[in-house]
Amino acid sequence: MRPPDRAHEHLAAAGLAWLLVLFTMGVLAATRPVAEPAPLVVQAEPGSHLGRDDEALLLAGGAQTTASAGLGFTLPAQDGTRWVLWLDRDPVDALWLEGAGWRSARRDFFHPAADEGTLPSGFVFPLPATWRGDISLVLHAQGHVRAALRPRLLREANAARLAYRGIALDSAVYAGLFLIALLALSLYSASRERAFLALAASSGTALLLAAASNGHLYATPLLDLFAIWRGGGLWALELLFCAATLQLLLRYADLREGGITATRWFDLASVLLVVLAAVCLLDLQGLAPWLQPAVTVASLAAAAGAVVVLVDATQRRVPMAWSLLLLGVLACVAGLARAALSHGLLPDSLWTRSGYQLALLVTAAVLMIGLISRIGEYRDQRDRDHLARIDSERRMAREAARAELTLALQTLLRTLPAADIEWTAFRLLLEHLLPHVPVQSAAVVAYGYHGHDLMLVEPARAKTALQEDVATRSLALRRLAQAGLPLQQPRTLHAQPVMEAVQPLAVRAPGWGVLLLQRAGSEGFSTEELALAGEFSRLAVLHADEALAAFQLRCSAELDALTGAFNRRSIDQWLARAFTDAHRRSQPLSLLFIDVDHFKAINDRIGHQGGDHCLRAIAATLRGALEEGDLLGRYGGEEFIVLLPGRGGAQAREIGERLRAAVQHGRVEYEGQTEQLTVSVGVASRLECEDTPTATVERADKALYAAKRGGRNCVQVAPAVFS
């Protein structure tokens, strides 16, 4: 989901405020008192029935039915007032009055007459102006939707007020539901969150259902086509509203995204509701007596499902779930009251007739508020994702800088004379670190490092001030360096606050060194910045040590003159040192013995110079296939040894296989001929109790000869071969 912009949020807020105004105006107008109707006696005709209060004529519904009731009342003497009979607008196919030689016009709920207006609130039957005294009429009703018809005798002015009251309330409900649907569509277009689309569908079907229940849908151009289905259209809209509301609540309660199994049952229920709605529109006469009860049961089941979803939402602490649960229960109660009204079980009032519509409007508004409140959560999530992306990019940049620093140190330091190694290493350190750790000044201070004292400062103009500062607290810096723990502390330099970070360098005693980073102000260095400074410092010192060691080895002729690998004496020294360190640190260490297959035959075929050429090529291939920190030595003749610090048996075997494959796939050209070379490899790993290389070398040598006996050009591992 993409969070809506501020314009959509402001539009939603303005729409909800206007909705509150409309709702308040509609309720206030609808609750204005209307004069009580004149006394009226209702008596059921044979075959017809009255409601519990004996004031309502019951229309049973189902197949086409007819009901009649006698009406008796007394009109006062001439007072200049015209009287009318008023009936609330219930879904009947035909309604008329007759008696005393008079017959009224027929009224049809689904086909409003032109004189009834655009938003008729009831059926109005004006009585002849000349009537006075006792009057008896018969009320006739036809239809197949259950209804309870309550005639009321009103003065014409009071009937008009009653109509205006209904229009005010209905208009507020229509405007509110339309506004909510419109806002939901707007927010969906901005956020692509399907919950808003579900809210638009629920509010839209609620609007159509309310308009159809009040009879106003059939007085609206184009929408009056719903009159084709009469009561079936009403039931279909009710079922579609239930299906849309179920889907809305599933998304609001986050059940849809959670993939809960129960969601499938609610989806199936929604499909069944839509199928039943389609059956209602087919106008199957054989099912007519059963459709309205089936719709009632389906609606009650959907209401129960909605309550279950909201109860689950309250248990999972979904925002505003308690409010929606209470409103949902209230809407269900109001719907039951409306159903009881149509059975003649409750008196006719504003709340029993239109209460469920008001409850639906308020519930939809609260749902809208709840969904809008999530926009802030979505924006927070977007901000978190943005920060995470920035952090990831920063980490990638730092990792790239680390790789670049490593490559630069490896490339440059091994080509330099001993006097330039330390200075170059620290210059590369600052060049690669400072773009990622903003500072006012930075300095590398080292004393007794490889027998040299040096200070490298960035920017260069700060060197004098830093030299004086270091000189005044060299003892404190030395102690920090020997402690080996990074530190940051606030200081005041030249009357300005400065935050300083001290990163010790891994310089062997009695030498010491630190990396000083100073940042103006009181903002401290982050943990990541300190970790990056520590890692870069470690790399610089490590590669400087290795470069100097390599230089010293070359200068002391400890390399094999033919292959450039360590000679036997050098590799023995490295073996002894590596085994001692591995034993002290309890770290793994492995050896590879590598022997050139059929080397005597190669010498016999192309001569000793050709054999030497092959040895140089093999040494170059092996060196290129090894990683940083691995050591290659010539152990004698055509035999090489590889020292793998920090590698266990499994890794050593993989490396041995990689070296074997590299030699096999390589091609050696000598005097116009291509030589196909292979090697056999023996692998052995240091045991926990071993602090000298003797036993491990012996096992590796046995593994090598096992590889020779096994057909050559293969890798054998000890002690899997030798116990």
User: Could you report the per-residue pLDDT of 448-492, keeping only the tens digit for each?
Assistant: 888 888 888 888 888 888 888 888 888 888 888 888 888 888 888
Q: Is the Cβ–Cβ distance between 518 and 500 less than 8 Å?
A: yes
Q: Per residue in 396-408, pLDDT tens?
A: 888 888 888 888 8
Q: How far apart are CA 171 and CA 331, in angstroms?
A: 19
Pick from 540, 434, 442: nearest CA to 500: 442
Q: Per residue in 27-62, pLDDT tens?
A: 555 455 556 788 999 999 998 999 888 889 999 877
Q: Is the Cβ–Cβ distance between 582 and 574 less than 8 Å?
A: no
Q: Is the pLDDT of residue 438 over 50?
A: yes
Q: Is the pLDDT of residue 93 over 50?
A: yes
Q: How far apart are CA 515 and CA 114, in angstroms?
A: 93
Delimit the domains of the chain by residue range. 41-150, 194-380, 414-549, 562-717
Q: How far apart are CA 336 and CA 307, in angstroms?
A: 15
Q: Is the Cβ–Cβ distance between 642 and 622 less than 8 Å?
A: yes
Give the per-residue pLDDT at 285: 67
Q: What CATH fold (topology level) applies to the domain 562-717? A: Alpha-Beta Plaits (3.30.70)
Q: Per residue in 275-328, pLDDT tens?
A: 999 988 887 766 767 888 888 899 999 999 889 888 888 888 887 888 888 888
Residue with tokens 């990689």: 658
Of residues 264 and 150, more confidence is placed in 150
Q: Domain 414-549, CATH 3.40.30.10 — does that match?
A: no
Host H or E run for residue 673: strand 673-675
Q: Is the Cβ–Cβ distance between 310 and 249 less than 8 Å?
A: yes
Angle at 266 between CA 264 and CA 268, to 5 degrees: 70
Give the per-residue pLDDT at 4: 47
Reported confidence tier of residue 3, pLDDT bands at 50, 70, 90:
very low
Q: Per residue in 8-27, pLDDT tens?
A: 445 545 555 555 555 565 55
Q: Is the pLDDT of residue 1 over 50?
A: no
Give the per-residue pLDDT at 33: 54
Q: Per residue in 299-310, pLDDT tens?
A: 999 999 889 888
Average pLDDT over residues 559-572: 86
Q: How far apart are CA 314 and CA 712, in angstroms?
A: 72
Average pLDDT over residues 420-427: 86
By percentage, how much of the chain surpasses pLDDT 70?
Answer: 91
Q: Is the pLDDT of residue 137 over 60?
A: yes
Spell out the residues 6+ positions from residue 588 whose beta carbon is closer than 8 angstroms to its own: 582, 646, 647, 648, 685, 686
Which class would CATH give 41-150?
Answer: mainly beta
In this structure, the number of other CB atoms found within 10 A of the CB of residue 526 comes to 11
Give the per-residue pLDDT at 658: 93
Q: Is the Cβ–Cβ distance between 511 and 446 less than 8 Å?
A: yes
In this structure, the number of other CB atoms found within 10 A of the CB of residue 309 comes to 25
Q: How far apart are CA 114 and CA 43, in angstroms?
A: 31
Arithmetic mean of pLDDT over the chain: 85
Range in 31-45, 222-236, 251-265, 503-517 with the lowest mean pLDDT: 251-265
Residue with tokens 């086909």: 111
Give the per-residue pLDDT at 720: 46
Q: Is the Cβ–Cβ distance between 626 and 642 less than 8 Å?
A: yes
CA end-to-end span of the chain: 63
Residue with tokens 């001993």: 418
- Sign of the CA dihedral 538, 539, 545, 549? positive
By percentage, how much of the chain surpasses pLDDT 90?
Answer: 27
Q: How far apart are CA 10 and CA 217, in angstroms?
A: 32
How far does CA 76 lie from the centroid of its chain? Answer: 73
Q: How far apart are CA 480 and CA 488, in angstroms?
A: 11
- Crossing angle of helices 463-472/474-483, nearest 10°? 80
Q: Is the Cβ–Cβ distance between 252 and 372 less than 8 Å?
A: no
In this structure, the number of other CB atoms found within 10 A of the CB of residue 470 comes to 18
Q: Is the Cβ–Cβ distance between 457 and 514 less than 8 Å?
A: no
Reported confidence tier of residue 554, pLDDT bands at 50, 70, 90:
low
Token digits of residue 670: 């000598």
Of residues 416 and 665, more confidence is placed in 665
Q: Is the Cβ–Cβ distance between 187 and 371 less than 8 Å?
A: yes
Q: Per residue in 176-214, pLDDT tens?
A: 898 889 888 888 887 778 888 988 999 999 999 999 999
Average pLDDT over residues 603-614: 90
Q: What are phi and psi of 328, to 5 degrees?
A: -65, -45
